[in-house]
Amino acid sequence: MIWIVVFGWIICAFGCAAIAKSKNKSAFGWFWLGLLLGIFGILIIGFMKAEEPEVDLEEATDRIAKLKMMGDADALAGLIANEADPRVCRDAAEALVELDDERGKKYLENAPSIEAETVDEDDQRPQNKGWLGIFSKRVK
């Protein structure tokens, strides 16, 4: 009988980790929390809101540069349509303008003005979320 309860608790831990990963949260932290709380852990993570994935601006800039070099205006326009980060959209629209594509000009005319953000590496400080920080963001 006790083995059924232990097995159920372990399944709850893996369930919490899977749900947390799908919501862009730390699967590791939620595995242990699920192991501790059981079905209540699944309920807690199940009702939490999903977090937006962080955009790697350097990777996006490299991708835009490659697409611009290839002259692939359709892929750049698709990037604008599917990207949530306005900085990436602005960079892709500027690349479209350089390729003499009207879609880039239309986006830049209609999009709200976005200040180019330049941050020194020394200025970037990790956010202190306390010991609960392991449950908030997915570890890469």
Residue 118 lies in a domain: no
Helix axes 2-22, 27-37, angle to 10 degrees: 150
Does residue 26 sit in the same domain as residue 65?
A: no
Residue-wise pLDDT for 78-90, tens only, equals 877 777 677 788 8
Residue 53 φ then ψ, to 5°: -70, 145
Does residue 26 sit in the same domain as residue 64?
A: no
**112: which 2 tokens?**
């709200």
Does residue 36 sit in the same domain as residue 63?
A: no
Residue 85 three-state SS: coil
Does residue 64 sit in the same domain as residue 46?
A: no
Is residue 20's pLDDT more than 80? yes
Over residues 6-19, the mean pLDDT reads 92
CB 2 within 8 A of CB 31: no
Is residue 27's pLDDT more than 70? yes
Q: Quote the mean pLDDT of the chain.
A: 77
Does residue 46 sit in the same domain as residue 79?
A: no
Does residue 78 sit in the same domain as residue 35?
A: no
Does residue 42 sit in the same domain as residue 72?
A: no
Confidence band (pLDDT; 50, 70, 90) for 12?
very high
Q: Is the pTM of this model over 0.75?
A: no
Does residue 74 sit in the same domain as residue 102?
A: yes
Residue-wise pLDDT for 66-115, tens only, equals 888 888 888 888 877 777 677 788 888 888 888 888 888 787 787 765 54
Residue 42 φ then ψ, to 5°: -65, -40
Does residue 47 sit in the same domain as residue 78?
A: no
Residue 124 three-state SS: coil
Does residue 32 sit in the same domain as residue 62?
A: no
For the chain, the domain total comes to: 2
**73: which 2 tokens?**
């205006």
Residue 45 lies in a domain: yes
Over residues 7-22, the mean pLDDT reads 92
User: Containing domain of residue 70, as a range?
Assistant: 57-110
Residue 123 lies in a domain: no
